[in-house]
Structures are given as structure tokens and as C-alpha cells.
Structure 1
Amino acid sequence: MKNSLELGLIGNCRIGALIDGRGEIVWSCLPRFDGDPVFCSLLHEHADGESAGYCAIELLDQVEARQSYLPNTAVLITCLTDRHGGSIEVTDFAPRFHQYGRTFMPMMMIRQIRRVSGNPRICLRVRPLCDYGSQNCTITHGSHHIRYVAPSWILRLTTDVSVTAVLQELPFFLETTATLILGPDETIPDAIGELSRRFLDETIDSWRDWVRDLSIPFEWQEEVIRAAITLKLNTFQDTGAIIAAMTTSIPEAPGSGRNWDYRYCWLRDSYFVVNALNRLSTTNTMERYLSYLINVVAGAPDGRVQPVYGIDGKSRLDECEISSLPGYRGMGPVRVGNQACEQIQHDVYGSAILAVAHIFFDRRFAHRGGESLLKRLEPLGEAAIAVHDQPDSGPWETRNTLRVHTFSSIMCWAACDRLA
């Protein structure tokens, strides 16, 4: 079966995962969005039962698959049916809820597998890879867990399924609900099933509470809510950064070679992101994102802002090509890092200042902008004046040609106008 971009997204603003229509985790990076893709089969084809880089729950003799979200949540439900009338339901989520006065969002994904009808027979294949698909993990195990050990991380699978069945990928009849907890190398002292049910209930409540506070239009409510949740899932809560995408190297067009790593934060997006968050009334997310922007642009030497930064605010995103992954449907190259960080794109001054301007005028913010912040932003305006009529790579990020772009010049004007 060829890879598809018809994927479900789960996450908790620390990690994320993409799951295909058969319930297979095909992409997930650890320990955060820009980390090593533990599950990376999205960027290489594999025949059933072959290769690695995925976490699959296979229903033997499967003939039908359906996938949907629990309404107003980031909890994904995949229903699989076999030709004998047996069916299962797979519930995927990453725990996220408030606990002890703060947001609990561990590096953890939970998969619950429930028998719905008949006598379904399943096979579990948990095959993480490390170093961008170039190495297999070292495996150790105990009575209820399996450790997948890589040079820079350890992924621990805790389960109430037979460890032997998982290690040897032995098919078995699903009689009671099975639970897989993929997370850090820590012992889970509680009963696995009870813990996963509690985490699920609290995660559902947390997402629905968040959605309840959204400001949404009368029309297209379901679509707006789903888009808002997706935007939230692309937020790295620790710093407030919002990434362009969970993935790297999905081709812009088939066979074009225009495959870029989008797991970073583009300042060009900031104005539009802040406007969207403002219209949704997600004030806390907007405030943290603006805090990230301010820290990034205020630290720019002489006000010279670059187009893209890492989710931790890092300025260097050295780009390289990865030979161990052939690419989505074989359409390489696969790139890690993004050379756009070195490009000249003058429109970023306008984008950044138009976004940050909200903090001066919006009375909902706990920390309003003042004279000190304005002084930190003034070097951006001075830089915009200096470069407004100079050639740059423009919004298309051309790599070999610099030209004077009207859009860039207008955004430089917008930066100075708003500061004035």
C-alpha cells in the first residue's frame, strides 16, 4: 500500500504523531517536533510486515477502515473490520490536561485497542528506528515493557499485552481491551488499563474545555474547530513557537525536488497566525507565541532578523540531505534543517512588527508592551529602512537569485509605519 497524505494528527503541544487510515503511526519525532523521527515510514515505502519505522496494529483479513476524531478533541478513532465480521476500534491520543496547577503533557502516546464485534485477530508491529531511519534500536524488555534504546533517546513501550507477542509479532485474538503506552523510560506504577482510561477521560475534558472557550463563526463551525485544534497541536508550548508543519521533505510538487524541512517557525507566518489566534480568542496561546517572537527578534544583532528560527529560538538550522530515507513515495531528497535561515527576506520586518503590535493594544494581555519593548523593536525599523529597496529572496525563498520584490518593500514600509 502506497503512502498517503490522508493522515490523522495527534499530539499534546510537546510531541505529535501522524497516523494513516489503517491506524499505523507513520511519523513521530522525539523528544520534540524537530527531533529524530522515531517513526518515519512516511518517507519510505514498506510492504506489509517488512522494513521498519512504524507502529502498526494490523487486523488480519482486514477489508474496511474508517477514521475520525472524537468531536472537539485531538483524540483519533480508527475502526477496522475483517472479512469474517470481526472489528476493532483503535483510540490514539497524547495525554494533555491540567494537573497540580500546570499543564501535564508528557512525551507519551497512548493506543487503546478495543474489540467491537466478532473474533478479531491482530498483530502488533512496533518498529522504531533512530538517526533518521539509518539504525535499528537496541531492544531490552521486562515482564510488561519493552525498551527501544537509541544513542540519544530511549522509547519505552508499556503494555498489558503479552510482551512475547509484541517482540515476535505473533498474531492473537483480541478478547479484552489492550493498551500500548509509548513514552519515556520511566516505570508506570499504576494499572496500565486504568491509567490509560483516566488519561483519556481527562484529555477529552481538557480539549473540550479549550474548544468551549473559542470564538467561532456561526457557519463552518466544525471546520473552524478542527483547524483551531490543528493549529494548537503545532504549538510547542515550552517556548510558544508555532511550527509550519510536523513533517520534513513532503514534496511541494511530485518529483520537483522542492522538499523542505518545515518543523520550524517562520516569521512570515507570524502576522497571520496572531490574527487567527486573536479571532479565535485563544489569548494564552497568542501571548506565549508573541513572547517567543519578542525574544527572537529582540535578540537579533543590529535588528537583522532572519526568516526562520528553531522552536527553541535557535538561529542556525544547518541543512543537510539524509540518504537513509528515500522520501515520500520515493521522491527525495529528504532534508533536515533549512537553509532559508541564511537567506535575505526583507518582508520579515513587517511580519514581525505587525504581529508584536498586538501586545501594545490588546488589554487582555497580562504583560502589555511599553517603552522598553518599543526601544527593542526600533532596530528592526531602522533595518527595514536600510533594506526596503534592496534585492532579496522574496516570499518564494529563491535560492540562486536575488530581486527587488514589491511585497518585501511594502512590508518594510508596514514595519516603519506601525512603529511610528
Structure 2
Amino acid sequence: MSDLELGVVGNCSFAALINREAEVVWACMPRLDGDPVFHSLLGAPPAAEGAGIYCVELEDYVQSEQSYDANTAILQTTLHGRHGALRITDFAPRFWWRDRSFFPPTLVRRLVPISGTPRIRIKLRPRFDYGATTPGITFGSHHIRYVGPNLTLRLTTNAPVDYVREETTFNLNHPIDLILGADETLSEGVSQMAQMFEERTRSYWRHWTHRLAIPFEWQDAVIRAAITLKLCTYEPTGAIVAALTTSIPEAPGSQRNWDYRYCWVRDAYFVVRALNRLAAVRKMENYFSWLMNVVASAKENHVQPVYGVGLEAALPEEIVPQLPGYRGMGPVRIGNQAYEHIQHDGYGNVVLGVAQAFLDRRLISPPTRMDFLQLETMGHKAFAVYDKPDAGMWELRSRACVHTTSAVMCWAALDRLSLIAEHIGEPERSRDWREKAERVKRAVVERAWSERRGSFVESFEGEHLDAGLLLMSEVGFLDADDPRMVSTFAQIERTLAHGPHLFRYEAPDDFGVPQTAFNTCSFWRVDALARMGRKEEARDYFEQLLSCRNRLGMMSEDIMVETGEAWGNYPQTYSMVGIINCAMRLSRFWEKAI
């Protein structure tokens, strides 16, 4: 049975998910939203059972151990059998080379015998077109080519090519290397290349984490979360995907199977904000470039909730019939209908996503006044739509209303434009945006408050509660100790909380009432408790949430409260952001700890 106890390796061009037995169960090529050439996480076509995998099978296998090299994205798996053991090192090359960042869509596997005489079989069975197409195979003395209609992969190895092609079991008497990537000849011998790639990649990650401004407490959790967030970024454009997978259900048999391999302006803002808190500002610069392209290409200033990592606007949603889905729970979807949605919170997320760039003096390429003038178009749009119905941040597909969180994020766009204008010496513009922000704020306070519930509610003149209301303090709309926020928080806890977990909303959506808690909402609750001065409660809940991570320190989107089982796409950037934000909020200061 599949589960989400998966390691992630990648290099900001592609990523692979690897289970505890070192099987590559998911890897999209040549980029994060590409064709899953390995897809056993979602099963295989009925006529191609056992296809879409990349594994090293150990004869008489007994158990395994798995961990990351400290402060890196290099994954080590040790397989133990009755007659021997081997260590498998997996990574994607990433380092600075020839005055540029080097991050090819390449997976390196290094196999080393560590005891006895392990007998292994290598199964390398890529498929194309989401499992529909069997590759053509050609080979030479040290390589195998897997030829698809739109992509060709080349495996270069110092293992016997015949053994790999025929999946023959053989004795692993000495280390072997397997480099899988583009259809190109290596410039050096495979062993030398693999060793050089590993050494330089290890050095890159350790230097990157060395520069992070981490908190005193929960350091390992924060470092792993930061690395995972970086692995969810697509460096060629600066886009940030919500997760690396598609169609992992939010709950068993729920049909809530979505493709998250795209860049939501909402999710990406939270990622950038979390990395900024760790002083990883280069990602903000890359994302600023991507976002300003979004703004420049927006027709009639309309910003979609989600785009492709290459700034693709159309992401038509379709079902892949040949893949049965995670644990057989289809459908498997590619694309996401949300690109067609009207979600007004996007304008706030765009402005919030770039606001720090206008104020931060560390940037190599700071934004200009012309960038600000272009960004103002987002403010004009936010002011025009703040009281208009939309699908909301939870992307409801069958109904629309004036969502409170959307209005609040429109306010945030206006508020931050005022601050930026003041900072760059535009006082008249600053006053204009401030007046608009105050007008929106008055509307939210008057129309989103429910006397009956003693709380802000999900929509203007509405009646239901929504965990997104906790973001009102997060973005500075109201202080956490404001009596209205205190009352709202109490009502949300009473209605949506289950132990340390928090559900998204109480009203049924297109698929009924949610069955699983949404991890990011649980972290919002922890942050709200800390802001309210209830830090001991916050720390207790935070520790409980950290215990819900998998063995390697990562989280998916959702959790089944009754069983503690992970559901939803993986790894979920929202969840990893929550780890960083709460650790930074709750940790003791270094000065007081040492």
C-alpha cells in the first residue's frame, strides 16, 4: 500500500519522490509540472502492471533505514538483507559552475555495498504521456536511451548495461553509479561525474543552509522545511508550485483530487514570506520577476489565482483514464480549473508578495518607480472588486459570495501600496491609497461581523465560520488582541478545532463537509495563539503538529484527525511554511538561550 512516507530530492528544475525502500515513485520531467515518467505513486495502466517505476530490489530484503545528509537535499537509504546490505544515495545536481547556476533535470543514484554480498536487481521502467506510452529503447556500452514522443531519457552507468536492460539479479561487489537525465553524453566518466556532482551538491546545500537566519529552537524542523520549500521552486522563471504531486486525495474516496504542480499567487506569497523571515531573499527576487510578468500580462488587470510555472495562463483540467490513482482512488487529474476562477484575494497576494522588495536594501536588482506604477494597477482592480462575489480562497466551484478573506486581502493590497508609495517618496499617492484602504476596512468591519455568531464570518452578511478569518491579524487588518478578533478566534476554536488540528470551514462545499483537517489552518491557529499572548498553549499545539510530520520531516496538505494519517498533495508548501512561521514566532531568542 502506498503512503506519503516519501523523501524528496530535486534541484529547482525537477523533483523526485522516493519511498523508504528507495523506489522512485514519482518524478516529473523535464520540469516540476512535466510528464511523470515514474508514477507508481498513482499506480500503472492495467496493461502495464509494474511500469513507471525506478527501484533497486535487494534479494532477501529485510528492512531499510533512510535519512538526509545533514542540511542537504541528498537522501541516503540503506537496504538490509539476510546476505548483505547496500547504501543508495539519491540527489539531483545543483551547484555553481562556470559562473552560472547548474541544475540539470538529472537524477543521480550511487549504490555502495556496505556488508556481505548484496544481490540486487535494478528496475528502470519509465513511461511517457502519463503512463500511456511505452518508450522505445536503444543502448550502447554504457548507456540506455528511453525514447518517448516528446522526451528522451538517457541512463549512463558503470553497471553492466545488460543487467539493467534485462533486470538481471547480480552481485553488487563494488560501487556503481547511475545518472539519468537528458539525452546527452557525459563529459567525463560516470564515476568521476557522479562523485563530483555529489561533492558539489552537498557543498551547495550546506552553504545555502549556513546563511539561513534560523531560530534557536526547532532548528532541524525549520531547515528541512526551508530546503523543501526551495525544492518546490522552479528557478528558470521564479515560480513556486503548491506541491510536487497531483491527485493525492484530500480524504479517502473523496474525489477531492487536484493537480497542485502550478503556481498559486496566494500560496507563493506565503512561501516567499517564510523564506524572507529566514533571510533567503534571493527567492524573493526571483519570484518578484515572475510576479511582475504576471502583472504585465494581466488582461484588463485580471489576475488568475494560478498559472503554470512557465507563466502559462491556460491550465485546462482533464482526467487521465489510464492511471488508477493513489491507492486506486481516482480520478487522476492534470491541469486545474481554478485558473478560470474569479478569486479577488489574488490582488492582495500579488502586492504582498512583492512589497518587501520595495523596502529591502539588500537586493541586487531592486524594483524601480516604474515597477510601482505598474503594481498600482493591482490596487485599482482590488478597489473595484473588493465587495464583489468570488470563489474565495478555498476555490468553491459551485457558488460565489463576497468572501471576507478576499475583501481583507484587497484591503492589504491598498494598505501596502500606501506604505510603498510613502517609502519611495510619493506622498500624494500614499494618501490616496490610504483613503481607499480605510474605505474597504470600514466595509469589512460593518458587513462581515455577525452579532449572532459573535464573530467575523466567511462572507458579507453571512453566517458560517472559516479558518481563513485568522489571516485578518496575519496581514495586519486587526490586532490579534482586538476584542472582535479574540471573539472570532474563540468561535473558530469551538467550531473547527479538533485537538491541535483545525478544519477549513464548517459549511459544506461542492463535495460535502471536509473530512480532514487542513494543516496550514492548524498552524494559523498556533500563530494566532502566540499573537494573543497564549504562548504555552501555542507551543503545546505546535509540538503536537510537528509530531505529525513523516519520518523525514515533511507534511502533506491534510491529516485524518482520527488516525493521524497524511492525505492531500505532497509535500505541501503551505504546511512547510507553517512550520517555519510558528517556529520563528515561538522560539526563545538566541540571546536568552545561551
Q: TM-score, normalised by structure 1?
A: 0.97
Equivalence map 1:217-232=2 (5 Å): 217-232=215-230
Q: Distance in 2 between matches of 1:205 and 1:41?
A: 32
Counterparts of 2:198 and 2:386 in 1: how far apart (Å)? 52
Distance in 2 separating the partners of 1:73 and 1:270: 22
- How far 1:371 moved relative to its partner? 2.4
Q: Hey, what's the Cα distance between the residues in 2 that align with 1:79 and 1:297? A: 48
Q: Using a 3 Å threshold, how does the CA distance of structure 1 residues 9 and 3 change in structure 2: closer, same or farther?
A: same
State how far apart, in whole Å, the 2-side matches of 1:144 and 1:369 are. 49
- Structure 2 CA distance for aligned equivalents of residues 104 and 194 of structure 1: 17
Contact 1:302/1:379 (<8 A) preserved: no
Alignment equivalent of 1:350, drawn from 348, 355, 358: 348
Alignment of 1:47-86 (within 5 A): 50-84=49-83, 86=84
How much does 1:83 deviate?
Answer: 2.2
Give the drift of 1:46.
Answer: 9.6
**3-state SS in 1 of match to 2:214:** coil
Aligned match of 2:197 in 199, 207, 219? 199
State the SS of the aligned residue for 1:357. Answer: helix
- Deviation string 1:219-257 (CA, Å, 9 cap, x unpaired) is 011111111100111111101111111111111111110
Is the contact made by 1:97 and 1:104 (CA closer than 8 Å) also made in structure 2? yes
Q: Which residue type is aligned with residue 120 of structure 1?
A: P
2:16 is matched with: 17
SS at match of 1:314: coil
Counterpart Cα distance in 1 of 2:185 and 2:369: 50
Distance 1:345 1:329 in 2: 32
| 1:289 paired residue number | 287
Letter in 2 for 1:304: H
Q: Contact between 1:45 and 1:329, CA under 8 Å: does it hold in 2? A: no
**Mapped partners of 1:274, 1:328: distance in 2:** 30
- Greater fraction strand: 1
CA contact (8 A) 1:266 1:307 kept: yes
CA distance in 2, matches of 1:350, 1:104: 34
Measure the CA separation in 2 of the matches of 1:275 and 1:31.
Answer: 28
Deviation by residue 1:273-318 (Cα, 9 ceiling, x = unmatched): 2211111111211111111111112321121111001111111111
SS in 2 for 1:136: coil
Determine the C-alpha separation between the residues in 1 that align with 2:37 and 2:117. 32
Q: Are the equivalent residues in 1 in contact too, given 2:106–2:180 (CA < 8 A)?
A: yes
Give 1:388 shift.
0.8
Q: Give the conservation status (yes or no) of the 8 Å contact 1:321–1:335.
A: yes
- The letter of the residue matching 1:410 is V
Work out the CA distance in 2 between the residues paired with 1:80 and 1:50.
24
CA contact (8 A) 1:45 1:330 kept: no
Aligned length: 417
Give the Cα separation in 1 of the matches to 2:262 and 2:150. 21
Instruction: For residues 74-121 of structure 1, give each alpha carbon's deviation from its aligned partner in whole angstroms, at most 9, with x where no partner exists.
Output: 00000000123x110000011111111111111211100100001110
Two-structure CA RMSD over aligned residues (Å): 1.4
| Structure 2 partner of 1:412 | 410
How far apart in 2 are the matches of 1:374 and 1:106? Answer: 34
Matched, 1:127 2:125: yes
- Tell me which amino acid in the other structure corresponds to 1:394: G
Shift of 1:45: 6.4
CA apart distance, 1:340:
0.2
- Name the one with the larger helix percent: 2
1:234 aligns with 2:229: no
C-alpha distance in 2 between matches for 1:30 and 1:352 = 28
State whether structure 2 residue 398 is matched by structure 1 residue 400: yes
Q: Distance in 2 between matches of 1:23 and 1:367?
A: 41
SS of the counterpart of 1:225?
helix
The AA in structure 2 aligned to 1:83 is R
- The equivalent residue for 1:262 is 260
- Cα distance between partner residues in 1 of 2:73 and 2:334: 27
Distance, in Å, in 2 between the alignment partners of 1:283 and 1:354 is 15
For 1:387, the aligned partner's letter is V
Write the distance in 1 (CA, Å) between the matches of 2:104 and 2:267.
Answer: 28
Structure 2: runs of 5 or more not aligned? 418-432, 434-594
1:375-408 deviations in whole A, cap 9, x for unaligned?
2112211111121111111111011111121111
TM-score w.r.t. the length of structure 2 is 0.69
User: What are the within-5 Å matches in structure 2 for residues 126-165 of structure 1?
Assistant: 126-165=124-163
**SS of 1:246 mapped into structure 2:** coil
In structure 1, what residue type is equivalent to 2:284? M
Indicate yes or no: 2:91 matched with 1:114: no
Residue 44 (structure 1) aligned with residue 56 (structure 2): no
Alignment of 1:324-403 (within 5 A): 324-403=322-401
CA distance in 2, matches of 1:190, 1:38: 26
Contact map agreement 2:90 2:109 (CA 8 A) in 1: yes
Amino acid at match of 1:15: F
User: Given that residues 123 and 170 in structure 1 are in contact (C-alpha distance below 8 angstroms), is that contact kept between their aligned partners in structure 2?
Assistant: yes
- Check whether the contact 2:43–2:327 (CA below 8 A) recurs between aligned residues: yes
2:324 match: secondary structure: coil
Could you say what secondary structure the match of 2:414 adopts?
Answer: helix
